[in-house]
Chain A
Amino acid sequence: MIVEKSNIQSEALETVVIRFVGDSGDGMQLTGTQFTDTSAMFGNDIATFPNYPSEIRAPQGSLFGVSGFQVHIGSVEVSTPGDNLDLLVAMNPASLKTNLYALKPGHTIIVDTDAFNRKNLEKAQYKSNPLEDDTLNNYRVVKVDMTSLTREALKDIEGLDNKTITRSKNMFALGMVYWMYGRTTEYTIDFFKKKFRKEPLLIDVNTKVLKAGYNFAETLEFIPNAYSVSPAKMASGTYRVIMGNTATAWGFLAAAEKSGLELFLGSYPITPATDILHELVKHKHFGVKAFQAEDEIAGISSAIGAAFAGDLAITTTSGPGLALKGEALGLAIMMELPLVVVNVQRGGPSTGLPTKTEQSDLFQALYGRNGESPAIVIAASTPSNCFDFAFQAAKLALEHMTPVILLTDGYIANGSAPWRIQSVEELPEIKNNKVKEGADNWSPYIRNEKTLARNWAIPGTIGLEHRIGGLEKDSITGNVSQAPENHEIMTKIRAEKVKRVQDDIPEIKTEFATSGDLLVVGWGGTYGSLHSAVKQMNLVGYKNIGLAHFNYINPLPKNTGDLLTKFKKIVVCELNNGQFVNMLRMNFTGIEFLQYNKIQGLPFGNSELMEVFKKLIK
């Protein structure tokens, strides 16, 4: 099959990938989010990814102090922050050095030439100035004396210190990029008005610099307005730009309101999960009880206590924290209490790569506890569907009376995307298993026949006083029992209860093809990368590739086995050393599964995946 070149090009024109990079103090996150929000308002589909150093205050100008924000905007659906850049805005030598690799040959770099002084070049370990030697020969370089121009723009405002002036140069860069992509500055100026309400001087400073950048770009003829990206076609509705972690937090808020329960969060700070805690502590007005505990064990333990007392209880963490929660999670499984554990995965083992993404906690989620202790495991796959799966996790926990582990990862948790706002009213109903009264021989182990969920009698309920705990209980009376057959019965009930969740989850559908040569299989946060690579393959003529992306891991959707037999080859792609693939091998012994893995703390790249798929199809 021949790759039709023209197709790829027109595809590329519909979307643009921009990366703003600079020193940690250069305000690149703000610049990036402003561009994102403005583009979202304009109607583009977007996907973003921030990348900042793990050091809180890295030395100025250093290679490891570089902070970046990447945004992918499209007039068509965009599902990843993109891999190769169309535009790189580099505010200093160190950021140019560490990011140049990602820019497509022939594409544009905007640099602040003022920052390319001897000191900064040395810190970036440049032997000669890349703006003067042949380093950038393959690119279009737009050299702008941004610092000087910023100073010039502010010359009428008296008494400004140097720091304020240099700090606002990021707005000059933003202004330029706004002009290049046909955006207006209005949204950002409104933002200044709100943000600096109490410091009107800063409204003035930032607005002036932003406009100066915009006008500068307009006046200069060597910047063509070539990459206009028109609005994307998206389902109608009201949208907002949302980060994965915020979406997760909001999913729980919605679940609490929908179920009529109060929300309790027990948590201990850990990157990249902390923003869920940060978000939920804000919402005391909704009665959210967010408890920052002394450690992860106390985080989950307090949530277990709250679940026993009748709240919608959740605990949030990342890999190392999930390891600490293991024993208590086993207790919640044994006591059959509703509980949601969120694991925002990061690179491991141990402290690993705290700010980088990975999917290597799947086995931990599935098997990381003593004894036979099955948990429902589900995974969100985009920043905005973190909302849906947080909601769903709460619903499954409450309806099935057993813990649910929700896996997200650093990539989708920190990434943002447009979210079509769902009003609580539109969301599905959430039932629970609370009981108000019982017959004389009532026991907490009376079960719903269909789901096997046990009764949930909460303290305060007259006549239903009972004791539960970590010791095995008699399947009927609920009293402590060490009887041999009883333990086997109870073990099987707990497993069957999780299995029956299959009745309440949707079947999995393949995208792009329902049968054919190659089925690409993924789960969780890699959806964007896999989706866009398979889509691209289709666009260039490979019509026999399908994608099956899993959000429900334990139990798997009922039709999983059927679907897998429809393709000649199956490749399971994961950001780990091969976990889901082995789970599938274990469950579907007759089927051959190939695997493609990446363990670099980075998401999959589009061309990387396409190459793999092409090889497999040959």
Chain B
Amino acid sequence: MIMETAVENKYTYKDFESDQEVRWCPGCDDYVILRSMQKALPEMGVKKEDVVFVSGIGCSSRFPYYIDTYGMHTIHGRAPAIASGVKLANPSLSVWVATGDGDAMAIGGNHFIHVLRRNIDLNIILFNNEIYGLTKGQFSPTSMVGQKTKSSPYGNTQPPFNPGELALGAGARFYGRISGNSPKDISQMLIDAHHFKGTSLIEVLQNCVIFNDGCYSNVTNKDVKEDKLIFLEHGKPMIFGKNRDKGLVLSNLKLEVVTIGENGITEDNILIHDAKEKDPTMHQMLVRLEYPLATGIIRSYNDLTLEEREAEVTKQVKANSKFKKIDDLFFSGETYKVE
């Protein structure tokens, strides 16, 4: 984690609580994400007035109302486009998008892939509860096949997106996945996302206690978590398990789980995670892995942002331009006088 030193006023999480009563269902993971954000913000070294949260529509999209910074609660699916406008208008702002699985990948799918492609320096928190919460329980583009919901009483027949796979396919430079019940890790990932230059996408596996309770419990419950999830860290071996004795190796172009100490396997055989690699092939394999489910920052590839590319072009155009003010343009070229 890089610390910015120049900021004198040290905030606490309380500085980021708005005066609005939080209205999510008791027990909803959205509370965890909110608090993780409020705790992460003072660590980022940003000024409160320079932070903007933009959201679409959904339970998760209520997020901006609860944080005492600038914020916009907009329309369903469009937050990435609106946030892009905020950032392009004023690149010095720290811009965040709060979005749900339906908001981002159903109605807003187009904006979602394009914002990732362009690599504008903003941060997207995807609250993936594999359901439409606000409209009371229809299947979403991440719901599993067979899942019974209000709009699929006999079981969902539409195969889902894997958000990480979609994001990497769209060219995402930063993608992290994190369990909704691990506030400290969420905070740290938010801080890392903030410092990353480019679009960062954080998918939070968010439990909806009302309409899809327990959708992640087989991997995120305390007692199974360490065995079912792998927490990836750049530069470190891909090891997991309660006893830290399981690891990932590459075998026949596939990731395979091995046990350290068995069949002559030592830690040296285990793959080292390279989040910064440009080629996303390994990152794609990791996001597709079902056992263990990959969490942590899977990809964090440094690339030019759209603002940087724009600024460079603009600088050149300015240097070569003969126009200093608008009148220069108006009176340029073919003009004629009428007396």
Contacts and interface: CB of A to CB of B under 8 A. Distances in A.
B320 to A, nearest CB: 8
Contacts of B92: 460
B111 interface: yes
A309 B89 contact: yes
A462 B333 CA distance: 45
Nearest to B335: A240
Given A43-B336, A294-B110, A331-B74, A467 B318 contact: no
B64 interface: yes
Chain B binding surface, main DSSP class: mixed
Contact of A302 (B82, B93, B326): B82
Interface in B298-339: 310, 313-314, 317-318, 321, 323, 325-327, 329-331, 333-339
B25 interface: no
B335 A424 contact: no
Interface stretch (B65-73, B138-146, B149-157, B199-207): B65-73
A424 to B, nearest CB: 5
A287 B93 contact: no
B334 A293 contact: no
Interface residues of B, number: 58
B83 interface: yes
Contact of A467 (B70, B90, B314): B70
Given A308-B86, A309-B85, A234 B110 contact: no
30 contacts: A40-B336, A41-B336, A238-B331, A238-B338, A239-B338, A240-B334, A286-B325, A294-B111, A294-B114, A301-B85, A302-B85, A307-B85, A309-B85, A310-B89, A335-B72, A421-B330, A424-B326, A424-B330, A425-B327, A459-B51, A459-B93, A464-B49, A465-B68, A465-B69, A465-B70, A466-B71, A467-B53, A467-B65, A469-B74, A470-B74
A298 B81 contact: yes
A310 B90 contact: yes
Contact of A306 (B75, B85, B313): B85
Interface in B45-90: 47-54, 57, 64-65, 68-75, 78, 81-90
A327 B107 CA distance: 13
Given A294-B110, A298-B78, 6 more contacts: A285-B321, A286-B325, A286-B329, A304-B74, A421-B335, A462-B47
Interface string B214-232: 0000000000000000000
Contact of A286 (B48, B323, B335, B336): B323
Which residue, of B20, B51, B314, B336, has the highest number of chain A Cβ atoms within 10 A?
B336
A386 B188 CA distance: 52
A589 interface: no
Interface of B: 18-20, 47-54, 57, 64-65, 68-75, 78, 81-90, 92-93, 110-111, 114, 310, 313-314, 317-318, 321, 323, 325-327, 329-331, 333-339
Nearest to A288: B314
A204 interface: no
Contacts of A335: 72
Interface in A297-321: 297-298, 301-311, 313
B338 A328 contact: no
B330 A264 contact: no
A287 B64 contact: no
Nearest to A464: B49
Interface residues of A, number: 69
Given A460-B93, A467-B73, A470-B73, A304 B50 contact: no
Interface stretch (A143-151, A153-161, A249-257): A249-257
Which residue, of B57, B69, B70, has the highest number of chain A Cβ atoms within 10 A?
B70
A466 B70 contact: yes
A90 B256 CA distance: 74
Contacts of B89: 262, 264, 289, 305-306, 309-311, 313
Contacts of B73: 467-471
A308 B73 CA distance: 12
A310 B89 CA distance: 8
Given A284-B318, A305-B81, A331-B75, A289 B88 contact: yes
B64 A297 contact: no
B70 A285 contact: no
Contacts of A291: 84-85, 88
Which residue, of A297, A459, A465, has the highest number of chain B Cβ atoms within 10 A?
A459
Contacts of B88: 264, 289, 291, 302, 305-306
Interface in A229-287: 234-241, 250, 253-254, 257, 262, 264, 266, 283-287
Nearest to B317: A284
Contacts of B78: 297-298, 301, 328
A283 B72 contact: no
A307 B86 CA distance: 8
A408 to B, nearest CB: 19
A459 B338 contact: no
A397 to B, nearest CB: 15
A239 B50 CA distance: 45
Contacts of A305: 54, 72, 81-89
